[in-house]
Structure 1
Amino acid sequence: MLTLINRNRFFYAPLESGAAARVRPPGTVANVVCGFDILGFALNEPCDEMIVELSDEPGIQIINKDDYDLPTIAEKNVSGAALLALLEDSPDVKGLKLTSTKNIKPGSGIGSSAASAAGVVVAANHLLGNRFSKEDLVRFAMFGEKVASGVKHADNIAPCIYGGVTLIRSIHPLDIVSIEAPPLHVTVVHPQIEVRTADARQILKHQVALKDAIKQWGNIAGLVAGFIKGDYDLIGRSLEDVIIEPVRSILIPGFDEVKKKSKEAGALGGGISGSGPSIFMLSKDAGTAQDVAVAMKEVFTRIGIDFHVHISTIKTSPLSAEFV
């Protein structure tokens, strides 16, 4: 076991090249309809799988074991950028080797880049005796999100690392608040089209009417209060976005119908997951979540777009790694 002796003096127990840790970072839902860039929650499925290994070779080596043809140059890779940030604060570490298997499709809207960035820093931290706090790990992982979208944001990374529902009160300085939530079932449909996060950001309005901002603030406050109180009706009433969704939904064929049919099937509500194209819906029980999945499938089958559906619950435990 590697143990931190004195972080302030950067004096650690010796590190053994070849030591490796495995992590399975989950998908996440960001924004949660009205909480653009500030709210997110973790899913139990799907998950990526990554192994991070201590190396005597300086820098970051990346091996991809999937078909997404992601960059292997660390500075251009989401995981690589996050690990480079961690290395900056780890003067006793020569290098790290990453073997990555992506099961969360890039561009899906369920936190693929966040899973990559969060997973590798959690695994590396496990190798280093957990010398860094969860807040430190979010800070490192945000460098990966910047590679993916051009912007450092933590609404996917924070729930991936912390588990559960998280509120990003501030990025500068970083201030993350974990929010208790009642049991919730999540149905996510991923139409097989691509919406790049950077593109989805470019189409957003730069100015917002005050009346819309006031309505959005009320929905955010209501959603957080609904989670904390376990008030399902309040959660459902608050899952409304008057600023982002009206713009981004035009990029997702069938969006309005999926939302309408899902609520008719019993969903509390939902909307675009992250920047899309995935759409998520929250339900009180597993049976309703299954009914919502059927409704989603019927819409996309009829309009002729391939899709994947995931049914999950909110993952409440923090992300952890294990030695291999």
Structure 2
Amino acid sequence: MSLALTAVASYGGPVSAATVVTVATDGSGNFTTVQAAVNAAPAGGSGYEIDVKPGTYRGTVSIPSAKTHVTLKGVGSGRDQVVIVENHPASTYGTQGSATVAVSANDFRAENLTFANDYDEAKNGSSQAVALDLNADRAVLNNVRVLGNQDTLLLWTAGTGTVGRSYIRKSYVEGDVDFIFGRGTAVFDRTEIHSLSRGSSTNNGYVTAAATTDTNPYGLLFYRSTLTSDAQAKSVYLGRPWHPSGDAHAVGQVLFRECTLGAHIRDDPWTDMSGFSWRSARFSEYANTGAGAAVNANRPQLSASQAPSYTPNAYLAGSDGWNPVF
């Protein structure tokens, strides 16, 4: 059913005594569903890799907090070959309940696959519909796609005093309204952030809705990433401040650093939300380029003296010195 080995993960760092199992829709693996493979993972494990063969795996997946050090790895020729998808809207299941994949376990890894929520807003009405809920610490996504519309990627933590860190490398995240949101800390490194068009000439959505706790200096960092869209020029916001349940201690922190911004980004890229001013949040840019880049009174810039304190390593180090960057 499984085998033990010593390997070096392609996202960097040694993996020792890992158990590897295979999921395949045609029955050629150890399991036919991803959830069944997760259920077989030991609690508190030191390494459990689920190799997923090409195919579409419809259904939700939950990785509970006890199942640490789980890796989901697509073994197809590209990240579009393995798709884990469901179509649950928050209007029926609640925001977190709508997630196709919900991760509550620390030290989660995903590589070379797609997480998607294909709820059809045009047919069924607007609703949040989460593709991936990362509610954990020290998560790494390498060469993955995260696809949805509203609220595609949730970065969450167990409580306002808990920090959850994610490193998202050379990946692709797609959506329209608040599609990267939450109070988690995350670095998007050399990742494509694609805003879908909602058919508007003025407002095609918001890339982020950060709810970073005010005691946490680090929220969302987009580093050397590319923002793309087919939407109308100057019609997409970089973000707005989310205060869950009106929490005054949720003071979003977002930085777009050395990114290439497409023409879809507005000249006034930050906006208010639910009565809270964006100017009270911690929103900034630094050394961005592209048709959507600009410096004006509505676009706070990080200073050169501040820049060394806002690097990928600074965001992710925490108290344990975690450094997944490669």
Higher relative contact order (CA 8 A, sep 6+): 1
TM-score of the pair, normalised by structure 1: 0.27
- Pick the structure with more helix per residue: 1
TM-score using structure 2 length: 0.27
Quick check: which one's strand share is greater?
2
